[in-house]
Amino acid sequence: MMNSEVLIIGAGLMGASTALQLAMRGCRCVVIDKDSPGRHASGANAGGLRQLNRDPAEIPLTVEAAKMWKDIEALVDSDCDARFPGQLRVAENKSDMQKLEQRAALVRSMGYEHEEMIGKKELYQLVPALSPHCVGALICREDGYGRPYHALTAMRRKAESLGVVFQSSTEVFNIAQQGAGWQVRTSQGTFNSDILVNCAGAWAANIAGLMNEEVPLTPKALMLMVTERLPHFVDPVMGAASRKLSFKQMQNGSLIIGGALIAKLNFESEKTEIDWSQLAKSASTVVDFFPQLTDVRIVRAWAGIEAFMPDNIPVIGASQTVDNAYHAFGFSAHGFQLSPVIGRILSQLILDGKSELPIDPFRISRFDKE
């Protein structure tokens, strides 16, 4: 039997970040995971550090997270291979430009300036290799990418240096309130804790259900593919206004290509099957924008299991059914960039009773039936 002040279920980026922030404030934490840290979404995502085109509710959080990423080494003793060459949503026609201008106006109306329009001339100065048919873009100049598993490892090691205990291969079977705290029965014994935090990713609905808190989470497996190494030809992370496009050229020259492409998933067995027809369409889209890539070889493809919510924004905050329990899950394939600030938010909720950032849109009760 292990005792702690805070027991965190899920040792991915959100769980590790929360443990780190709590440990920095002197809190005794244990983090358990049914697999190993980063086995699923946290170790298999594309590593985007994106403020561009966020849901309006996420903008205050993503802007604060961007500040933390710029100084990430001070937090986790590693730069996590983070680079900030900017990110683009490219317009191919007048209609695309109008859509992007509306988006930029929305962001400005909220008091933020990080998304801005650029015309054709500046677009081709930034990306001279781009196909000549494009007419402009929406840009966030401070966006970029990092390496998710490097970041997760750095967060975990820094948390461990502050006394946090991580335990893998620890599946939760039952959760029960014991006085003002919690008793959690697992495959590796029983854990007692004053406070419980649910960061269980695609399995978070199961954990919430054990606390009588139903939530409409859908597990999905997002596909990515990586190419052979190429001579350097593009700096910004590339996206498009009206087509599924997401790719970046990494430090070693390879391209990581995504675009919200869904693999076939057997959730019970945790098995994924790559849908090569979707990847072929994605590769064709990349070639439309960069015809010189026609004969480039794809060397690997994979899929990571992630948690999606109906409105594609996460659940962040206190449980609405029980005391001394908190949630952070359902990041719908865009949680990597938010992970440092999510840990800070949860530490503030747990230790201060409130967050400095607005999190009401992320309350779990928004899914309650009328």
Length in residues, the chain: 370
pLDDT of the residue at 99: 98
Instruction: Determine the Cα–Cα distance for residues 69 and 50; give it in Å rounded to an integer.
Output: 11
pLDDT of the residue at 370: 52
Q: Is the pLDDT of residue 105 over 80?
A: yes
Angle CA(247)–CA(110)–CA(315) in degrees, nearest 5? Answer: 65
Question: Encoding tokens for residue 343?
Answer: 């840990």
Q: Average of pLDDT values for 307-324?
A: 96
Angle CA(264)–CA(266)–CA(267) in degrees, nearest 5? Answer: 120
pLDDT of the residue at 200: 96
Q: Where residue 111 falls among pLDDT bands split at 50, 70, 90?
A: very high
At 149-167, the pLDDT tens digits run 999 999 999 999 999 999 9
Reading phi first (left if > 0) and then psi (alpha if -120 to 50, else beta), residue 79 is in: alpha
Q: Is the pLDDT of residue 252 over 90?
A: yes
Q: Is the pLDDT of residue 38 over 80?
A: no
**φ, ψ dihedrals at 169, nearest 5°:** 50, 40
Q: Where residue 36 falls among pLDDT bands split at 50, 70, 90?
A: confident
pLDDT of the residue at 152: 95
Q: Average of pLDDT values for 266-273?
A: 92
Complete DSSP assignment for 213-241: -----EEEEEEEEEEPP------SEEEES
Give the other-Cβ count within 10 Å of 366's Cβ: 15
pLDDT of the residue at 37: 79
Question: Encoding tokens for residue 80?
Answer: 């996590």
Instruction: Determine the Cα–Cα distance for residues 327 and 320; give it in Å rounded to an integer.
Output: 10
